[in-house]
Amino acid sequence: MREKCAVFGITSDSDVFDSIYKGLYSLQHRGQESAGMAVCSKGRIRIHKGMGLVSQVFNSVSLDGKCGIGHVRYSTTGLSEVENAQPLLINYSKGSFAIAHNGQIVNAAELKSTLESRGNVFTTTSDTEVIAHLIVREHIKTDDLVAGIRNAMGYLKGSYSLTLLHGNTLIAVRDPSGVRPLVYGKSGDTHVFASETCALDVLDIDLVRDIKPSEIMTITGSKVRSDIGKAGKVSHCMFEYVYFARPDSILDGKSVYEVRKNLGAVLAKEGKVKADLVIPVPDSGITQAVGYARASNIPFGEGLMKNRYIGRTFILPDQKQRDIGVKVKLNPIRSELAGKDIILVDDSIVRGTTIKKLIHLLKDAGAKKVHVRISCPPLKFPCFYGIDMQSRKEFIAAKKTVEEIRKEIGADSLVYTSIKGLLTAIGLPVTSMCMACLNEDYPLTDPQTKL
């Protein structure tokens, strides 16, 4: 059950299909394997979903209705199946709802086996269906959907930003730690929930605020209601700022672009070195390289040209696809590199295979020296909260020192941003951040209600 995705939801006084399409299109960087939407028309929810990009899944489909939700998904190989594409549609004695989820439920297997032992039948391998079964159970018990959701949250351990569609009611839910982002925007009679603000911008919707950790926000027509569930320790994912979110998004009040520029400036201080040119690994290192170049007064340049028609190598699901990705994706610009000492800036090192190939490419193209600067401190521990880094074996920094990594990848020098530097760049209190993949301090430790 490994997912990292995006959710979207909208209610308006006109048809919403085009808006959901555009919203999902702008969130495509969060998931490229499947896409789907559910729209309510005349009290009936209709769903369309499939494998592939938003443009492929919806190339000849349209859904009528003024209220709907959408989802884009990424999963690992075995789970990349259309059955797991979202939204999921749930029919039960109290009606029906559609649900879309970004995050990961840590105790999903345990909850699923208890629910199965009590007669619940599951049709997917996705942890989202566990959330849905719990909501159904608690809705039936309490006779109130919001109360049911609040009760269901008590059983769940993990990260979840959700959008739900129940008739013409649109609901957004964020877990008590606020691990994954979720924002609320409004313009006129149109209300939107989205994983990132870039999906509001594309629709000219004004950002109102982030959904609060533990919040359940419900919108029916023009009626907006906010309920706050049991509080948890707030733990926003630092990796959203470093890599995952789009730089033009604003998460929990912080511009991702500014954070990444700050990270570059921090690196210029912590990893100072004499060089002729600062170049990014496109696209993940661009903003940090801009920050580095400005802070160090070393010129910024483009030493690697990206073929922009393929996706990010990191989110391709297996090593073979990743290897192919690196080769066809980046080409060095010899005239920019020949005879120069280069500072190569990227966001993070996971396995080290990509950066090693890039250093080779740059040296083959005539670079004299390649100094590598990485804006995320060494990734050493697995993530169980919705980013696909689930095994320690994946991380080169879990096994090797910085000097050993430098030798392994063939860099002339290697500096990572410190954890202190990372926190300075983000500008949120350390107590409100998850950094478990850096320091093994896993935050979601509150006890759950026993099922």
Inter-residue long-range contacts of 310-317, CB under 8 Å, 24+ positions, other chains counted: 311/32, 312/29, 312/283, 312/284, 313/354, 314/243, 314/284, 314/350, 314/354, 315/4, 315/31, 315/32, 315/74, 315/388, 317/33, 317/74, 317/75, 317/76, 317/77, 317/80
Answer yes or no: are the C-beta atoms of 214 and 228 closer than 8 Å. yes
- Please tell me the distance from the alpha carbon of residue 368 to that of residue 275, in angstroms, as a whole number: 10
As measured in angstroms, the least distance from the Cβ of 386 to ligand SF4 is 6
Answer yes or no: are the C-beta atoms of 435 and 441 closer than 8 Å. yes
Size of the site for ligand SF4 (CB under 6 A): 11
- Please tell me the distance from the alpha carbon of residue 175 to that of residue 317, in angstroms, as a whole number: 26
As measured in angstroms, the least distance from the Cβ of 7 to ligand SF4 is 16
Q: Which of 5, 237, 376, 383 is catalytic?
A: 5
As measured in angstroms, the least distance from the Cβ of 1 to ligand SF4 is 14
Told to check if 434 binds ligand SF4 by CB under 6 A, we report yes
Among 290, 359, 435, 444, binds ligand SF4 (CB under 6 A): 435
Tell me, yes or no, if 5 is annotated catalytic: yes
- Please tell me the distance from the alpha carbon of residue 225 to that of residue 222, in angstroms, as a whole number: 10
Told to check if 422 binds ligand SF4 by CB under 6 A, we report no
Return the number of the residue (98 or 436) whose C-beta is nearest ligand SF4: 436
3-state helix, strand, coil in the chain (%, to 5): 35, 25, 40
Return the number of the residue (179 or 405) whose C-beta is nearest ligand SF4: 179
The CA-atom distances, in angstroms, between 341 and each of 288, 294, 361, 417 are 18, 17, 14, 20
Which parts of 205-264 interact with ligand SF4 (CB under 6 A)?
A: 237-239
Number of CB atoms found within 10 A of residue 44's CB: 10
Which parts of 161-180 interact with ligand SF4 (CB under 6 A)?
A: 179
Which parts of 288-307 interact with ligand SF4 (CB under 6 A)?
A: none
Told to check if 436 binds ligand SF4 by CB under 6 A, we report yes
Told to check if 58 binds ligand SF4 by CB under 6 A, we report no
Among 8, 155, 160, 385, binds ligand SF4 (CB under 6 A): 385
* Eight-state DSSP code of residue 368: S
As measured in angstroms, the least distance from the Cβ of 126 to ligand SF4 is 19
Can you tell me which residue has the tokens 């998850």?
434
Return the number of the residue (21 or 385) whose C-beta is nearest ligand SF4: 385
Told to check if 383 binds ligand SF4 by CB under 6 A, we report yes
User: Read out DSSP for 190-247?
Assistant: EEEEESSTHHHHTTTPEEEEEPPTTEEEEEETTEEEEEE-------EEHHIIIIIS-T
Site string for ligand SF4, 129-168 (x = CB under 6 A): ----------------------------------------
Return the number of the residue (350 or 367) whose C-beta is nearest ligand SF4: 350
Q: Which listed range, 117-125, 307-315, 379-387, 398-406, lies at the site for ligand SF4 (CB under 6 A)?
A: 379-387
As measured in angstroms, the least distance from the Cβ of 434 to ligand SF4 is 3
Told to check if 397 binds ligand SF4 by CB under 6 A, we report no
Return the number of the residue (239 or 300) whose C-beta is nearest ligand SF4: 239
As measured in angstroms, the least distance from the Cβ of 249 to ligand SF4 is 16
- Please tell me the distance from the alpha carbon of residue 232 to that of residue 282, in angstroms, as a whole number: 37
Six-digit token string for 147: 């109360």
Return the number of the residue (8 or 239) whose C-beta is nearest ligand SF4: 239
Among 387, 405, 423, 426, binds ligand SF4 (CB under 6 A): 387
Return the number of the residue (97 or 385) whose C-beta is nearest ligand SF4: 385
If we measure between CA atoms, which residue out of 388, 387, 405 comes closest to residue 396?
A: 405
Q: Which listed range, 148-156, 284-292, 363-371, 430-438, lies at the site for ligand SF4 (CB under 6 A)?
A: 430-438
Among 20, 54, 216, 437, binds ligand SF4 (CB under 6 A): 437
As measured in angstroms, the least distance from the Cβ of 180 to ligand SF4 is 8
- Please tell me the distance from the alpha carbon of residue 247 to that of residue 242, in angstroms, as a whole number: 9
- Please tell me the distance from the alpha carbon of residue 349 to that of residue 266, in angstroms, as a whole number: 18
- Please tell me the distance from the alpha carbon of residue 429 to that of residue 431, in angstroms, as a whole number: 5
Q: Which residues bind ligand SF4 (CB under 6 A)?
A: 179, 237-239, 383, 385, 387, 434-437
User: Among all residues, which ones are annotated catalytic?
Assistant: 5
